[in-house]
Amino acid sequence: MVSVVRHHYGTVNFVVPDHAMSAGTIFCMSGDRIYMDYSSALGPIDPQVMSSDGSGYIAALGYLDKVTEITAKAVLTPADVVFLRSLDLGKLALYEQAKNLSISLLKKWLVVYKFKDWTVHRTTNPGVPVSLEEKEARAEEIAAALSDNKRWHMHGRALGIERLLELRLEIDDYSKDENLRVAIREYNDLLTGYADRQNMPIYLHSHHTETP
């Protein structure tokens, strides 16, 4: 999706009037700017993968954390032994790959797109040019924080502007721009309301029109 969007547009900005969770968060990191207000939220990064028995999707990071927790014990309980014996090592490797892919994509897109106009330091060492290594280090920090399952405790945790700023992720906050905030809210409510009534789980809306 990022490759397709970037093929057609040199500048891509994301507006998040409600929430963009998990993969939506990663998608937002491929933008030049992210616009949010006081009620908006992004979410932790935790790939959803098919369970070993094929019954549904599970959070890869939660599963990996549980495996790490059990294998770190000095003494295993009978329940721990049963769990470890049930592990599918192929699935476990798949979960690790899903985790690593999410983090690597986020790091890549932050450096290439979100940080492309970050040329000089503004807080620490003001005016000093920002190196590629510093951009990569910042992206690493953000990726690690967003994928820290122990920090957020749950996959559906809503991270508002204040929490994202703690991660040193720049957000364009339009909370105090009443005209813009109201316009975005009315647009979003109308569009999502229509999509819900039409039972459309996915929709694309463009300002371009085509002649039949």
User: pLDDT tens digits for 47-98?
Assistant: 777 766 677 777 777 777 778 888 888 888 888 788 788 777 777 787 788 8
* Residue 64, CA distances (Å) to 97, 112, 207 in order: 11, 29, 43
Is the pLDDT assigned to residue 212 strictly greater than 50?
A: no
The stretch 109-122 carries a mean pLDDT of 90
Q: Are 1 and 105 in contact (CB under 8 A)?
A: no
What distances in angstroms separate CA 210 from CA 96, 174, 187, 202, 205, one per listed residue?
A: 44, 32, 22, 20, 13
CA angle 110, 115, 117 (to 5 degrees): 155
Tell me how far apart the alpha carbons of residues 44 and 58 are, in angstroms, rounded to a whole number.
Answer: 15
Q: Which has the higher per-residue pLDDT, 166 or 85?
A: 166
Strand boundaries in the chain, DSSP class E: 13-16, 19-20, 33-36, 41-42, 48-50, 57-59, 172-173
User: CA dihedral in degrees (66, 67, 73, 76; nearest 10)?
Assistant: 100
Identify any residues that bridge with 50 across adjacent strands, giving them in sequence order.
57
The whole-model pTM stands at 0.80
Q: What is the DSSP secondary structure assignment for residue 129, as one 8-state letter?
A: B
The residue among 15, 10, 5 whose CA lies nearest residue 191 is 15
Statement: residue 175 has pLDDT above 60:
yes
Q: How far apart are CA 19 and CA 36, in angstroms?
A: 9
